[in-house]
Amino acid sequence: MPRGESERRKAEAVLFREIVDQFVARPLHPAADVEQFETLVGGFIEMLDADVVAERALELCRHPDTPRGIIARLLDKGGRVSRIAIEYAPSIHAGLVRALAEHGSAELAIAIARRSSLERKIAAGLASRGESEVLCALAANRRLHLDQAARRSLLQAARDDLRLARILLDRADLALDPEALFLAADAGERSRILLEAATRALVSNGPEYVARPTPALAEEIDACALARDFEGLAEALAEALDCRKSRARAILADKGGEALALALLALGVSEDTAIRIFLGADREAPDVERIRSLVALMRSTPPRAAQRLVAAMTGSLRQEKERAAAASARPGALEQKRRRKQTSQTAKAQA
């Protein structure tokens, strides 16, 4: 860039900062001043580098007299400037927010998830996305009200995302059942979850039912334990628990081992086989005290409580497939998806 051009850009950046600083220093402005400000600053936003505009984007979004036209230009600037505007601008076209929440990039969806208020449908759309960063931003936003559907979606996703599960465990205000979040819980939280599950099992009516794996599956689990075949053991546990293989792996990888002990108890695996699995799970020297505590946990926990906790942790693969098939087979499902995408494109064009 020629030296003269560089100096001109620097002078324009300085002037932009000064104009914005003077504007935001006063809480209210006459209509004529606001109109003049929109003309001047709108031109600067379009002309200046995004990094320069980003320096004052937050102040512009937070000022009550900032014209809508300026917010629109910030949204159009792209990159960090757009993310700031989406997160902090008090008023944005609802159709645009909804479209970006459902079909926008993860970066923009994260910015939406951090807003101080959201429509219920927008929060639900964010909660149904698969990106961990989006879900964590939504779960961590204590200013938002998350309805039952959004909380349910976050809980289901947390089975496969320990960071999200940890955030949800820290949200006592959501009044979530922590059983599905057991893998992310610390020692104290696990003790409380176990106590609550055991209490429920003991006060519930009906005979205690102890599940037993099929003979072939029991032999496979025992053989994998003897061979220290963790991949084979993960497959066998996934089949026995009717869950995703990744969730069976997560139970096997649980550092404390309590989740694995509960899973083996829920399946009715023999104590000898369980001990072999615990011994194999210690990649270095076996931790005898840890294994004793896990055996004691299996002996002291009602099988019904273990079954309840493990079902909460793993979910049901069969039920997940049935729900997915039902959603795909629902009349008009493909047409609704096409219309949502069309609405997204229209909202972006209008913005």
- Count the neighbouring beta carbons within 10 Å of the beta carbon of residue 204: 12
Burial of 60 (0-12, 13-18, 19+ CB in 10 A): buried
Q: Which residue shows structure tokens 């000022």?
A: 63
| Helices first, then strands: H and E counts in the chain | 21, 0
pTM for the whole structure: 0.81
pLDDT in tens, 218-248: 889 889 988 889 999 999 999 999 999 999 9
Q: Is the predicted pLDDT of residue 276 greater than 50, yes or no?
A: yes
Q: Residue 141 contacts by C-beta under 8 Å, 6 or more apart in sequence?
A: 113, 114, 115
Q: Which residue shows structure tokens 């914005």?
A: 20
- Count the neighbouring beta carbons within 10 Å of the beta carbon of residue 238: 19
For the chain, domain boundaries: 3-88, 215-315
**Could you give the CA distance from residue 112 to residue 92 in angstroms, rounded to a whole number?**
11
Q: Is the predicted pLDDT of residue 295 greater than 70, yes or no?
A: yes
Please say whether the beta carbons of 52 and 19 come within 8 A: no
* Averaged confidence pLDDT in the chain: 88
Of the candidate ranges 46-60, 100-114, 271-285, the one whose mean pLDDT is the lowest: 271-285
Q: Is the predicted pLDDT of residue 347 greater than 50, yes or no?
A: no
Q: Which amino acid is at 232?
A: G
Locate all alpha helices (DSSP H) within 31-119, ordered by sequence. 31-47, 50-62, 68-77, 79-88, 94-103, 106-113
Of the candidate ranges 55-59, 242-246, 286-290, 323-327, the one whose mean pLDDT is the lowest: 323-327
DSSP for 143-167, written as a single string: TSPP-HHHHHHHHHHHTT-HHHHHH
Q: Enter the DSSP assignment of 177.
A: -
pLDDT at 350: 40
pLDDT at 238: 93
Q: Enter the DSSP assignment of 315.
A: -
pLDDT in tens, 172-189: 899 899 999 999 999 999
Q: Is the predicted pLDDT of residue 63 greater than 70, yes or no?
A: yes
- Count the neighbouring beta carbons within 10 Å of the beta carbon of residue 16: 21
pLDDT at 318: 79
pLDDT in tens, 325-346: 665 665 554 554 555 455 445 4
283 confidence band (pLDDT: 50, 70, 90): low
pLDDT at 49: 94
Rounded to an integer, the average pLDDT of 192-214 is 78
**Could you give the CA distance from residue 197 to residue 237 in angstroms, rounded to a whole number?**
22
Measured over the CA atoms of residue 142, residue 148, residue 153 and residue 158, the dihedral's sign is: positive
